[in-house]
Amino acid sequence: MLDHRGGQGAQAPTFLFGMERSGTTLLSMMVGAHPRVAVPLATTGMWVGFAERLEHDFNDLATRDDVVRLVDAIRRHARIKLWDAELERDILLEDLPLGDYGAVVARFHAIYAQAKGKTCWANVDIATFDDMDRVNAWFKDARFLHIVRDGRDVALSHQTMPYGAGNIAECARAWVQRTTTNAKMGRILGPQRYMTIRFEDLVLDTRASLDRICDFIGVPFDEQMLRYGDMVEEKIPESRRWLWPAISSPPQQSKVGQWRRRMTRSQRIVFEGTANRALKDWGYEAYDKIPKSAAAHLLDLWYHLDKGGRLRRLRKRLGFGSISLLERQAGNSRERAS
């Protein structure tokens, strides 16, 4: 019988997260390939979303009926339906305590782990990046694994997506504020419960990075973690693989330092005008002294006027909106395959 926090002798859960386009999916695939660790597909804010509705919609789980209604609502959610496992209602509900939302979160993950024949679980969700304090309240023993990527590459990747920061200047501000705030929270938790890993190290020195990750999680390294690509067809629905076109391949060194090839001088100056110190703090190369540039100043002014991607939204409203680069690439791939 499962206890309400995940099983007999359940290991403390690990929450994997980072800013959008920072390598969270790659990290989760590697960790989830471990024979002992189950990592279901990201639910992208679903758990936090239900937590925000607890009082109004589920009476703070004060009665058994409230717990049942919550579990049924989660089971119906589109994100949960993408999980590659059967989640039996009766087992999900068995002996769940009242008033304990963390127990509900743990139960869904524990049943997923059981279905995969694994003994512990981890969660991947970019929402944890901004709501780590909330997750910490659910799980007082949780571990938090924060993946950080060079903000300039994050900004460039955001420009290929149908969502994300409106422009490079906005991405710079978000990257600095969010990574810095999260790291401060991590220092409060301490190294036993919070760890950062750089995307660049995970790609360029994969084995050593995975050794560190396994030590942190509390499991021995296993070579299966390097064969994460074997899990893609089973784990990621075909309709969503366009978001990560290279996820079946080994870590690609070409993904590191793309800003050197793709970012204009003006874009770099604008980004580092906000993020220069933070880049250095995370160990990234950056200008010793940011150059003065009239072109960069004009670009920064344009970014200010186009805050939130106003032009892109207006084009869509007028019917002239274009699809993102990744969406175009996915469409071309489907055409070649047909």
Kindly give the confidence (pLDDT) of every residue in the chain, 338 residues in length, as a single tens digit, with 9 standing for 90 and above.
Answer: 454 455 444 689 999 999 999 999 999 999 999 999 999 999 999 999 999 999 999 999 999 999 999 999 999 999 999 999 999 999 999 999 999 999 999 999 999 999 999 999 999 999 999 999 999 999 999 999 999 999 999 999 888 776 666 689 999 999 999 999 999 999 999 999 999 999 999 999 999 999 999 999 999 999 999 999 999 888 888 877 777 778 888 999 999 999 999 999 999 999 999 999 999 999 999 999 999 999 999 999 988 887 766 555 545 545 555 444 433 443 444 444 44
The predicted model scores a pTM of 0.87
**Taking a C-beta distance cutoff of 8 angstroms, is the pair 38, 120 a contact?**
yes
Residue 209 CA: distances (Å) to CA of 138, 146, 150, 197, 304:
28, 13, 17, 7, 38
Task: Give how far the C-alpha of residue 72 lies from the chain's centroid of Cα atoms, to the nearest Å.
Answer: 25
Task: Please name the helix (run of DSSP H) or strand (run of DSSP E) that holds residue 86, with its range, or none.
Answer: none
Protein fold of 14-337 = Rossmann fold (3.40.50)
pLDDT at 185: 95
DSSP 322-336: ---HHHHHHHHHHHH
CA dist 270 and 62 (Å) reads 51
- Give domain limits for the chain: 14-337
pLDDT at 9: 46
* DSSP 3-state of 253: helix
pLDDT tens digit sequence for 84-112:
999 999 999 999 999 999 999 999 999 99
Task: Please name the helix (run of DSSP H) or strand (run of DSSP E) that holds residue 29, with its range, or none.
Answer: helix 24-32
CA dist 166 and 326 (Å) reads 16
pLDDT tens digit sequence for 253-292:
999 999 999 999 999 999 999 999 999 999 999 999 999 9
**Taking a C-beta distance cutoff of 8 angstroms, is the pair 93, 70 a contact?**
no
pLDDT at 320: 52
pLDDT at 113: 97
CA dist 253 and 8 (Å) reads 41
Q: In b/e form, how buried is each residue of 55-90, taking b as 16+ CB within 10 angstroms?
A: eeebbebeeeebbbebbeebeeeebbebbebebeee
pLDDT at 1: 43
pLDDT at 177: 96
CA dist 211 and 31 (Å) reads 11
